[in-house]
Structure 1
Amino acid sequence: MSENKQRLVLSIIDFLNQSIEDGTVKSDDKESLEVAIQCIGEAFGVDPADDVQVKRLSVKPTTLPSIFDVFIKTKDKVGASAAAAPAASTSTASATPKTSPATDIAKADELKATGNKLMSEKHYDRAIDAYTQAIALNPTNAVYYSNRAAAYSSKGDHLAAVGDAEQAIATDPTFVKGYHRLGHAQFCLEDYSAAADAFERGLKLEPNNQGLKSSLDNARSRIVASSTSDSTSAPAAGGGGLGDLLSGLGGGGGGGGMPDLASIMNNPQMMAMAQQMMANGGLENMMRNPAIANMMNRVQGGEMPSMSELMNDPTLRNLAQQFGGGMGR
């Protein structure tokens, strides 16, 4: 389950709880809605009573209705602009528009400048309002969405920043700063893979952009650090043969029994050896070997051969040397 999906689910649960509290939902429906909230949370692994999880997933102060309202206004404005373009081309020369497009663009730039000034003064909410007005006048300018994304990030609302950065890129796919805004917001949301992807897309447009290069290196280092902290250490192999490897996984030793299957499948050396065997046809040849076929029949019949028996079989020992000999190196 991705963290972004859980953020969305928590926002939905917050919205539904708020609807119960403010009386939007009838009292007769309150109990049914509370049951639905519990089922939604359990289905997506989201517990609104878990303060640690809520702190990690919350998008506050942004709310689901406010995000949806911004989307609807932007969508309607873009749709209206697209519909107005054909109509304008067919209008007569004598027709006089109520407002000049040039006037709207000029006013939008003024609002952008106002937003920039408010940003420098750290009045982020007022800056967001100014950029929103600029977008309403000229929704085809990627800079306005990018600047509003920066304002959202500055106030800690990185999820809203992601939405605006993606809108900036959709408006102008060559707008490099949009990719930087997107990567920064994803990085702050600790989605380092998505952040690295955004920085890489920007670098395809500007390969020498040092800001994007530095940000990409930082994101990649976080991905590596995260992978290292989550991985478990594999048992050390002995002399490098398959017998030593299986013994190290708990099968050989003095017990003579079969190794633990889960340990084998989680061991990177064993997985690498299996990939090598598949690549060079060794797996197919192995399954044609009578000794292997006999062993598989015995396993299917419930009889598990001991490790010493496996390693004393010349055919299997040669196979171990062929495919496991290089693992210790």
Structure 2
Amino acid sequence: MSSKQQLVLSIIDFLNTSIKDGTVKQDDVEALEIASQCIGEAFDVDPTDAAQRTRLSVKPATLPTIFDVFLKTRAKMDTPATPAAAAATPSASTLKVPTAEDKTAAESFKAKGNSHMSTRNYEEAIAAYGKAIELDPTNPVYYSNRAAAHSSTNNHTDAILDAESAIEVEPTFVKAYHRLGHAHYSLSDYSAAAAAFRRGLELDPSNASLKSGLQNAESRVVDEDASTTADAPPAAPSGGGGLAEMLRGLGSGALAPGAPPGGGPDLASLMNNPMMMQMAQQMMSNGGLERMMSNPALANMMGRVQSGGGMPSMDELLSDPGLREMASQLGAGAGAGAGGAGRS
């Protein structure tokens, strides 16, 4: 459930931020606070738990920035409505063909952008690279540089768009894949980051930066998978074999105080076992109890007990063909109730 819990934490953080920054009217604050608490409880997410927050946080990304990436990516699939939009989002059929003067001026703006980057004036750098793109939208370097500037301001959503634009202009421009992977990684989308680094390595297998980025991204993907597996509930038994193993495990334990000898299971543990309780309920509802009571093996076992022979041991129960068949019936009845019909 880890990815769902990440989403839930992001939603709760968004609601809390909306309360604090005045986005929500005061009359609605109490309702939102209650909603946040209910959502957290439903998905077992506690935003005040520091350890859980560290595990689930997607910072520096936020729910609005992630949603913004989706909206802008979807917008890229549409035909640009204005020349300015066409320059910002390149397409092979709509790119402006720059003149020699345009290219010279664009290089001048790129140089200004590089200068602003060196002094950490990132907004000025973004503006300068934007001017270069308007003049020459066929040069992937300008998009790639602006992607780096966006990432420097933690605006990784726009960095992704610019990196993708650079790749669209020139699919063999390796640096753009690194920019794209870095932006996805910063937004905690490690699978997308790994995919971007891999695409770059296909073009430049010896690129150390791409190799390092891929290794880091893949390690985080593995961590997420391990966390999801750890959060998964244990599988329920699905037949007579699983039931036999459960009974054998119960039978091998110490006898309950006052229990008769003979290697029988701890009945207190048996009745307190959730799986056994579930099986009993399902047997009563699907006729399994009647079938078991009519089994000759059960009658023989009860006759043995009544004549003073004591309860059979668990190994003896499971080695007797008749009793094993009874256990199989019990398990099959429970399995049918738990798993539902096998045909649709």
TM (norm. structure 1) is: 0.53
Whether 1:301 and 2:287 are equivalent positions in the alignment is yes
State the identity as a percent.
37
Alignment partner of 1:186 out of 173, 184, 187: 184
2:108 is matched with 110
Q: Provide the C-alpha distance between the structure 2 equivalents of 1:156 and 1:70, rounded to a whole number of angstroms.
A: 17
Q: Provide the C-alpha distance between the structure 1 equivalents of 2:148 and 2:34, rounded to a whole number of angstroms.
A: 36
Q: How far off is 1:32 after superposition?
A: 11
After the TM superposition, which residues 89-104 of structure 1 pair with which residues of structure 2 at under 5 Å, given as runs? 101-104=99-102
Whether 1:79 and 2:79 are equivalent positions in the alignment is no
The 3 A distance-change label for structure 1 pair 6 and 218 is same
Q: How far off is 1:209 after superposition?
A: 2.1
Q: How far off is 1:225 after superposition?
A: 3.1
1:132 is matched with 130
Q: Provide the C-alpha distance between the structure 2 equivalents of 1:215 and 1:150, rounded to a whole number of angstroms.
A: 15
8 A Cα contact 1:179 1:199, kept in partner: yes
Q: Provide the C-alpha distance between the structure 1 equivalents of 2:19 and 2:224, rounded to a whole number of angstroms.
A: 34
Query: Secondary structure in 1 aligned to 2:129?
Result: helix
Alignment partner of 2:194 out of 188, 196, 199: 196
Q: Provide the C-alpha distance between the structure 1 equivalents of 2:180 and 2:251, rounded to a whole number of angstroms.
A: 52
Query: Secondary structure in 2 aligned to 1:162?
Result: helix
The 3 A distance-change label for structure 1 pair 153 and 213 is same
Query: Secondary structure in 1 aligned to 2:127?
Result: helix
Structure 1: which amino acid aligns with 2:102?
D
The 3 A distance-change label for structure 1 pair 158 and 252 is farther
Q: How far off is 1:150 after superposition?
A: 0.9
The 3 A distance-change label for structure 1 pair 232 and 18 is closer
1:167 is matched with 165
Whether 1:148 and 2:146 are equivalent positions in the alignment is yes
Structure 2: which amino acid aligns with 1:107?
A
Q: Which has the larger radius of gyration?
A: 2
Structure 2: which amino acid aligns with 1:247?
M
* Superimposed CA distance per residue, residues 49-100 of structure 1 (whole angstroms, 9 cap, x where no aligned partner): 989889855658x989x989999899433537999x89x99xxxxxxxxxx7
Q: Provide the C-alpha distance between the structure 2 equivalents of 1:156 and 1:122, rounded to a whole number of angstroms.
A: 13
8 A Cα contact 1:165 1:179, kept in partner: yes
Q: Provide the C-alpha distance between the structure 2 equivalents of 1:131 and 1:188, rounded to a whole number of angstroms.
A: 22
Query: Secondary structure in 2 aligned to 1:190?
Result: coil
After the TM superposition, which residues 257-276 of structure 1 pair with which residues of structure 2 at under 5 Å, given as runs? none
* Superimposed CA distance per residue, residues 153-204 of structure 1 (whole angstroms, 9 cap, x where no aligned partner): 2222223222222222223222221111111112222222221111111112
Structure 1: which amino acid aligns with 2:207?
N
Structure 2: which amino acid aligns with 1:115?
G
* Superimposed CA distance per residue, residues 233-287 of structure 1 (whole angstroms, 9 cap, x where no aligned partner): 999xxxxxx66994399766535759766xxxxxxxxxxxxxxxxxxxxxxxxxx
8 A Cα contact 2:190 2:221, kept in partner: yes
Corresponding pairs, count: 257
Structure 2: which amino acid aligns with 1:79?
A
Whether 1:223 and 2:250 are equivalent positions in the alignment is no
TM (norm. structure 2) is: 0.51
Structure with the bigger RCO (C-alpha within 8 Å, sep 6+) is 2
Q: Provide the C-alpha distance between the structure 1 equivalents of 2:230 and 2:35, rounded to a whole number of angstroms.
A: 32
Larger mean CA deviation between 252-261 and 222-231 belongs to 252-261
Q: Provide the C-alpha distance between the structure 1 equivalents of 2:111 and 2:140, rounded to a whole number of angstroms.
A: 15
Larger mean CA deviation between 105-114 and 6-15 belongs to 6-15
The 3 A distance-change label for structure 1 pair 246 and 109 is farther
Q: How far off is 1:111 after superposition?
A: 0.9
After the TM superposition, which residues 236-255 of structure 1 pair with which residues of structure 2 at under 5 Å, given as runs? 246-247=245-246, 253=252, 254-255=265-266
Query: Secondary structure in 2 aligned to 1:184?
Result: helix
Gaps of 5+ in 1: 22-29, 90-99, 236-241, 262-295, 321-329
